[in-house]
């Protein structure tokens, strides 16, 4: 595999970030987070035919190098993932990791109210336990899906510790993986996550992750409904990002600066991810 730079990329690992897998109507603002089931199956077939196998995100730093591995992750725990996403993965003998905001398990995605998507149903505990029994990994997505880098120390510890404890207590499995809600983190957040017991944590990043990089800031590729199977293979092989991905990569720091300036007074917005 060669990257854009022409550098040998045996240690680069593609980590795919999905949200919902559904055919349901979706608002314009949320459209890029919903992949139709038929397209998701196309993605998996393309990966499988290209010789990729899947591994849990907690093994992202494990060797050996030169292995054709891809990591599939789902943020938020949307209910239709258990109907369309997990069966499609199982059919290809593939696995994935589900990142769940524990306060909302069994409920609705109320943090998406600004986008008109708060009606989306989330996985219940029975679904989560079924997923674990089927070989999928679960990780924390915080407790209340808050932007961790702008909340105070007490809230930060609460979000990280309580969500992990709830997941472990309810499922009787060890939880060591985290996906930062909205992708936001900094040194303080990463240190708190390590203290809370996490050993792998995912951001957004819009690029390939390297196996030897810090496992508390795993870069992922946001995969949306405009990514064909062929395009997905280009991305996991280190090809050019789409125009949209490139634009978002360079505009993100501006968003972050504006968000920090507003401080904790503003309400979280999913759009800023």
Give me the residues that bind Zn ion (CB under 5 A), please.
75-76
Nearer to Zn ion, 75 or 149 (CB): 75
d(CA 273, CA 260): 14
Smallest gap, in angstroms, from Cβ of residue 181 to Zn ion?
5
Dig out the tokens for 108 from the structure.
Answer: 């609705």
**Contact by Cβ (8 Å): 179, 201:** yes
Nearer to Zn ion, 33 or 52 (CB): 33
Q: Name residue, tokens 């800023």.
A: 272
Nearer to Zn ion, 20 or 75 (CB): 75
Smallest gap, in angstroms, from Cβ of residue 123 to Zn ion?
13
Smallest gap, in angstroms, from Cβ of residue 51 to Zn ion?
31
Packing angle, helices 153-171 and 125-133, rounded to 10: 60
How many CB atoms lie under 10 A from the CB of residue 167? Answer: 23
Smallest gap, in angstroms, from Cβ of residue 81 to Zn ion?
13
Smallest gap, in angstroms, from Cβ of residue 21 to Zn ion?
15
Q: Which residues sit opposite 178 in a β-bridge?
A: 140, 201
Nearer to Zn ion, 56 or 144 (CB): 144
Smallest gap, in angstroms, from Cβ of residue 200 to Zn ion?
17
Nearer to Zn ion, 52 or 183 (CB): 183
d(CA 261, CA 132): 41
Nearer to Zn ion, 76 or 127 (CB): 76
Smallest gap, in angstroms, from Cβ of residue 91 to Zn ion?
26
The closest residue (CB) to Zn ion is: 75
Nearer to Zn ion, 207 or 268 (CB): 268
Q: Is the dihedral of CA 79, 83, 84, 87 positive or negative?
A: positive
Smallest gap, in angstroms, from Cβ of residue 103 to Zn ion?
12
**What is the rounded radius of gyration, in angstroms, for the C-alpha atoms of the chain?**
17
d(CA 213, CA 168): 27
Nearer to Zn ion, 52 or 206 (CB): 206
């Amino acid at each position: 595999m060669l990257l854009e730079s022409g550098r040998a990329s045996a240690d680069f690992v593609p980590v795919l970030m999905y949200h919902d897998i559904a055919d349901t109507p979706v608002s314009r603002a949320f459209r890029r987070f919903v992949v139709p089931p038929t397209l998701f199956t196309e993605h998996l077939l393309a990966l499988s035919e290209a010789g990729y196998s899947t591994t849990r995100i907690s093994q992202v730093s494990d060797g050996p190098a030169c292995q054709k591995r891809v990591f599939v992750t789902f943020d938020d725990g949307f209910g239709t993932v258990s109907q369309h996403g997990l069966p499609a993965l199982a059919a290809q003998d593939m696995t994935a990791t589900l990142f769940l905001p524990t306060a909302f398990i069994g409920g609705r995605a109320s943090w998406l109210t600004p986008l008109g998507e708060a009606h989306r149903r989330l996985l219940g505990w029975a679904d989560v336990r079924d997923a674990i029994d089927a070989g999928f990994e679960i990780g924390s997505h915080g407790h209340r899906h808050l932007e961790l880098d702008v909340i105070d120390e007490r809230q930060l510890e609460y979000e990280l510790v309580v969500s992990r404890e709830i997941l472990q207590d309810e499922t009787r499995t060890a939880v060591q993986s985290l996906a930062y809600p909205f992708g936001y983190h900094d040194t303080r957040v990463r240190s708190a996550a390590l203290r809370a017991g996490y050993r792998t944590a995912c951001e957004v990043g819009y690029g390939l992750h390297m196996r030897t990089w810090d496992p508390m800031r795993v870069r992922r590729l946001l995969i949306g409904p405009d990514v064909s199977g062929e395009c997905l293979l280009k991305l996991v092989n280190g090809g050019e990002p789409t125009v949209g991905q490139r634009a978002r990569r360079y505009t993100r720091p501006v968003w972050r600066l504006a968000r920090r300036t507003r401080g904790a007074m503003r309400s979280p917005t999913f759009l800023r991810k």
